[in-house]
């Protein structure tokens, strides 16, 4: 009988340090395959496999599409590709972003649960926002084990905190305790259970692969919402997993509440910058026309354009003040992210 031999791990900010600490404590003969998703920019080079292999006892790689799953290996999601699990092999997909990321945690967890049901252990580590919560819900629903890093220990408590709040997690542990628990779970015998897979789950897994039939199908999980997708502008469908609400559009972009709010905020800021530019251009044009009318002794026309310029400047100033407040908030976020990157870099170079 097999143990819990499919271990899926998700992290974001502060995740390199957390994953490195965790994998470093796993023995070379652990009877399980480990899969890791950490949010990374699409055009960045990922050296996480080299870091994990240098620090730990297990070989770590960026897998190839279709690669066979083997125990005693760490499979790290490559940049700009979802890491998905099929029975016996790995699928890499350039599917729609989920929670603003590709790779994202939810597709990994969801596909693992669909393929291996109660053999799966889902682990949520340090990270901001709430990617991974929806996927961990599926892991639990199909009989797997849910583990979250203790938020008090995590550099960023958003992801583990969301998991604990919305999922009946089995264990809330420190990194050192998680490593020990994974070894114990991998060695325990599991009576394999056949769970009927929700058709909506199959649709979502197929959409992560940008499957042609799934994209063209008129069937969508959930119900139509009044909100639009910040990525493509399409209608979002509201999906409820227990008390956890999330959204997915027709082309497959998916958002948890926190990630949707963050994306909407970015879209709003972009719109404000466009409005500011348009108003400053309008002001400049109005002043030029006012000056030309003045030179031609058309005082009434000159005054009208001068008033338009003043109105545009006043409106632009309102938007400028809104952007300044937003920039201050963004600077705080940037400082926090910079701290996480520095911590991760110290782990890399250490």
The number of residues making up the chain comes to: 350
In this predicted structure, what is the pLDDT of residue 117? Answer: 92
Quick one: 129 and 178 in the same domain? yes
In this predicted structure, what is the pLDDT of residue 232? Answer: 86
Q: Per the residue annotation, which of 12, 256, 259, 286 is the catalytic one? A: 12
Copy the structure tokens of residue 285: 């044009």
User: Tens digit of pLDDT for each residue in 251-274?
Assistant: 889 998 888 988 888 888 888 999
Q: Which alpha helices (DSSP H) does the chain contain, by range?
A: 15-24, 48-55, 105-116, 133-141, 158-166, 175-187, 199-208, 212-216, 257-295, 299-349
Dist CA 303 CA 183 (whole Å): 79
Q: Which residue range forms the structural domain that includes residue 279? A: 258-349
Dist CA 285 CA 69 (whole Å): 64
Quick one: 26 and 124 in the same domain? yes
User: Is 131 noted as a catalytic residue in this protein?
Assistant: yes
Quick one: 155 and 182 in the same domain? yes
Quick one: 47 and 171 in the same domain? yes
Quick one: 42 and 181 in the same domain? yes
Quick one: 182 and 250 in the same domain? no
In this predicted structure, what is the pLDDT of residue 50? Answer: 94
- Domain assignment of residue 175, yes or no: yes
Residue 328 has pLDDT above 70, yes or no: no
How does the average pLDDT of the chain come out, rounded? Answer: 88
User: Tens digit of pLDDT for each residue in 64-115?
Assistant: 999 999 999 999 999 999 999 999 999 999 999 999 999 999 999 999 999 9
Quick one: 41 and 142 in the same domain? yes
Q: Per the residue annotation, which of 130, 131, 157, 344 is the catalytic one? A: 131
User: Tens digit of pLDDT for each residue in 201-212?
Assistant: 788 888 888 776
User: Tens digit of pLDDT for each residue in 42-77?
Assistant: 787 889 999 999 998 999 999 999 999 999 999 999
Dist CA 73 CA 58 (whole Å): 6
Residue whose entry in the numeric block shows the structure tokens 């027709």: 250
Copy the structure tokens of residue 164: 């604990």
Quick one: 146 and 71 in the same domain? yes
User: Is 12 noted as a catalytic residue in this protein?
Assistant: yes
Q: Per the residue annotation, which of 4, 39, 101, 253 is the catalytic one? A: 39
Average pLDDT over residues 22-33: 95
Quick one: 103 and 34 in the same domain? yes
Dist CA 121 CA 241 (whole Å): 19
Q: Transcribe 236-258 into DSSP letters.
A: EEEEEETTEEEEEETT--EE-HH
Quick one: 54 and 127 in the same domain? yes
User: Tens digit of pLDDT for each residue in 139-173?
Assistant: 999 999 999 999 999 999 999 999 999 999 999 99
User: Is 25 noted as a catalytic residue in this protein?
Assistant: no
237 or 33, which is more confident: 33
């Amino acid at each position: 009988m097999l143990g819990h031999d499919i271990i899926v791990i998700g992290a974001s900010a502060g995740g390199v340090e957390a994953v490195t600490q965790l994998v470093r404590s796993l023995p070379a003969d652990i009877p399980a395959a480990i899969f890791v998703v950490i949010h990374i920019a699409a055009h960045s080079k990922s050296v996480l496999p080299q870091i994990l292999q240098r620090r730990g006892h297990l070989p770590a790689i960026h897998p190839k599409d279709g690669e066979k799953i083997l125990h005693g290996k760490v499979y790290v999601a490559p940049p700009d590709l979802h890491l998905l699990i099929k029975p016996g092999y790995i699928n890499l997909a350039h599917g729609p972003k989920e929670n603003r990321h590709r790779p994202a945690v939810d597709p990994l967890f969801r596909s693992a649960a669909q393929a291996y049901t109660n053999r799966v252990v889902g682990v949520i580590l340090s990270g901001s926002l709430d990617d991974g919560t929806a996927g961990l819900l599926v892991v639990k629903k199909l009989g797997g084990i849910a583990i979250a890093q203790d938020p008090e220990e995590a550099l960023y408590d958003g992801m583990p905190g969301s998991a604990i709040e919305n999922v009946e997690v089995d264990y809330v542990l420190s990194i050192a305790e998680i490593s020990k628990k994974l070894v114990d779970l991998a060695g325990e015998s599991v009576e394999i259970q056949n769970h009927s897979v929700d058709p909506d789950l199959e649709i979502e897994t197929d959409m992560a692969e940008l499957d042609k039939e799934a994209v063209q199908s008129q069937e969508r999980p959930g119900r139509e919402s009044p909100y639009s997708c910040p990525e493509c502008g399409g209608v979002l469908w509201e999906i409820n997993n227990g008390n956890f609400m999330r959204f997915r559009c027709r082309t497959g972009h998916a958002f948890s509440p926190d990630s949707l709010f963050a994306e909407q905020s970015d879209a709003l800021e972009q719109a404000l910058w466009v409005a500011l530019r348009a108003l400053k251009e309008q002001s400049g044009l109005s002043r030029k026309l006012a000056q030309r009318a003045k030179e031609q002794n058309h005082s009434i026309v000159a005054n009208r354009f001068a008033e338009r310029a003043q109105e545009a400047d006043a409106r632009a100033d309102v938007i400028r003040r809104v952007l300044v407040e937003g920039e201050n908030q963004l600077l705080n976020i940037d400082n926090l992210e910079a701290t996480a990157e520095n911590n991760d870099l110290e782990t890399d170079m250490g």
